[in-house]
Amino acid sequence: MKINMKIFGKSLKEYIIAAKYFLLFLIALTVLQIAALLLKLFPLISLETNLFGLIKLAIIGYCGYFLVKKYKFTLKQLFVEGVLIFIILFLLGFALPIYQFPTWFLILNTIANLVLLTVVILIGGFLAKKFSR
């Protein structure tokens, strides 16, 4: 039995395939960051961790720009893509800080990261729509 559910006109497979290289790079960057933190190459809150975060946000912004330019995504579809990227990165990197911070901080941090990620991917898509010819 094949389930063919579509979210804003695209299946889940289309969302994943459209951003596969961005997802692979973001996953590799997250694994590298987690490995560096576990090996205690730098502290949990430092310039290096902030640099990892900024690189991820830049990649996500470019991903939004790319998806609008190449695959003609709408802003609603970019929102869904942003949530999917967040879920993948969240599940990958969530195990590390869970014991080092209080629960309320983790909940607020999770919500803030979701909002930030979706806003960045929407800004990338908006810029692609605005400057397209």
Residues in the chain: 133
Q: What is the pLDDT of residue 51?
A: 84
Q: Judge whether 19 and 81 are in contact, CB under 8 Å.
A: yes
Q: What would the mean pLDDT of 83-89 be, rounded to a whole number? A: 87
Q: What is the pLDDT of residue 44?
A: 63
Q: What would the mean pLDDT of 110-116 be, rounded to a whole number? A: 83
Torsion sign, CA atoms 66, 69, 72, 77: positive
Residues 6+ apart with CB under 8 A from 124: 60, 61, 62, 63, 64, 65, 66, 68, 78
pLDDT per position as a tens digit, 21-72: 999 998 898 888 878 777 877 776 677 777 888 898 899 999 999 999 999 8
Q: Judge whether 81 and 45 are in contact, CB under 8 Å.
A: no
Q: Is the pTM of this model over 0.85?
A: no
Q: Strand pairing of 10-11 and 6-7?
A: antiparallel
Q: What is the pLDDT of residue 9?
A: 86
| Averaged pLDDT of the chain | 83
More confident residue, 32 or 94: 32
Residues 6+ apart with CB under 8 A from 9: 77
Q: What would the mean pLDDT of 112-128 be, rounded to a whole number? A: 87
Q: What is the pLDDT of residue 98?
A: 62
